[in-house]
Chains A and B, each alone.
Chain A
């Protein structure tokens, strides 16, 4: 279980990118974080992964992780599939995936099992294991990026706009895969601008605006909400 209380992030002297954010992901949940460009989704994810300093509390399974280093956070079970994928373009897909299991590298069997699981979830990836990751199509690269995060065998998976730049059909396939990962027991926190698609697979959601949570509720309640409809679904 992830519990964030009063989270703040500030870059330099500018007005804070995040302020007073409270957010929870309970065991088994898929939670979506909605918000327009610049609302603070990526900052929240970077703070969670320990890439940028933050104020407030971030508790994961009863441990304060706000000041931990990225490697320690991954080892505790939080893996991120970042915005823009951040793959290693000249390395083979297989090496990208194996590096995803870096913190668990001593557990050889677990790594092989995770690799098999990723290949089963994304059959396209299995065919491309030897290609350089940078040579793949955008949709396939997204699968590799999600796969790389799964290789860490996380308890909580953070996905930062996985549908960005993908054709509608691929968006659906990607989010189906996310739903499947969640059904298998992994908690998911999914940042999206594509609210319609995200709410169709999430249990609950939060709406960020200018670094603050302005709305939260169940997925169905948010789907009906006028503000969400107007801001994101374009109804």
Chain B
């Protein structure tokens, strides 16, 4: 029983990270049908911004996270404006190639600027908390809570504000949105800003549990894509549920079956679910 709860905790931590990353990917795909392969590298960039915020500028953990969110939101806007908007009416393969191009560009940039070494992100929250026989670090609890807060805030924004509704409007009918006076280009920029900002928050949260390096985006992007396929391409609730399913499959599969096959078990679960629900858990429309 004790082991079970420990794995539940690990699943929640990793699921929170996956959820924040997959959400951004799902938002961009759902609104613009752009599969942003560079999303994991925005996450990586976010980790470095926060890292330098803490270690060089000494601004403290939370201000560093805020800084990372703001910087990455700006990077997202620039990416939309300079790379993806010009390709709006081009064949989808052009968009895919552009996204992969951005991925390699950011990868190279990070190698040159930051070096290939793994770095340890210092956290002020490294104390261990004991609760009913369970052990957790403060940072783990912060990851779970902060992710929950961010997700609730995003839902509130999407469902309860008119500006949030413009995102769903553009996702569902771009022409209709333009006709009521919504500028679809501005909405696209806003979605990229939110998406990259969430990735930066996720990176700052998890960086102090794992290590940071220029290639940290690769595994995360693979998993995030698997999650949004599982959730139903572009579905926001699907991305969240899918993230926790994958994370729990990893943590429980790794503990109770075999830790060597952890990823294989997790992706096996995904394939199994997709066999029964080929369009994903929350497929949109028809």
Identify B179's interface contact among A51, A89, A134, CB under 8 A.
A51
Give the distance in Å from the alpha carbon of A87 to the alpha carbon of B175 in the complex.
9
Stretch touching chain A among B6-14, B140-148, B163-171, B206-214? B163-171
A75 CB → nearest B CB, Å: 7
Q: Is the CB of B181 within 8 A of A103?
A: yes
Extra A-B contacts (20), CB below 8 Å, given A71-B181, A95-B165: A51-B175, A51-B179, A69-B183, A70-B183, A71-B182, A74-B180, A75-B181, A79-B179, A79-B180, A82-B176, A82-B179, A88-B168, A88-B176, A89-B172, A91-B172, A99-B165, A99-B177, A102-B166, A102-B181, A148-B180
Complex-state Cα separation, A184 to B166, whole angstroms: 30
Q: Using A98-B165, A99-B166, A102-B162 as known contacts, say yes or no to A90 and B182 having CB atoms under 8 A apart.
A: no
Contact B180 A51 (CB under 8 A): no
Beta-carbon contact of A152 and B181 below 8 Å: yes
| Contact residues of A between 89 and 135, Cβ < 8 Å to B | 89-91, 95, 98-100, 102-103, 105, 134
Contacts of A74 in B (CB 8 A): 179-181
**Residue A49 CB within 8 A of the other chain:** yes
Taking a contact as CB atoms closer than 8 A, the residue among A79, A89, A95 that contacts B173 in the complex is: A89
Q: Is the CB of B166 within 8 A of A86?
A: no
- Interface size on A, as a range, is 20 to 34
Question: B58 within 8 Å of A by Cβ?
Answer: no
A203 CA to B181 CA in the complex, in Å? Answer: 29
The complex places the Cα of A88 from the Cα of B31 at a distance, in Å, of 13
Within 8 Å of chain B (Cβ to Cβ): is A80?
yes
Instruction: Indicate whether B284 reaches chain A with its CB closer than 8 angstroms.
Output: yes
A190 to B183, CA, bound (A): 25
B44 to chain A, nearest CB (A): 33
B179 touches A98 (CB 8 A): no
Using known A-B contacts A71-B183, A99-B162, A102-B162, determine if residue A91 contacts B168 with beta carbons closer than 8 Å.
yes
Closest to A75 in B: B181
Chain A positions within 8 Å of B169 at CB level: 88, 91, 99
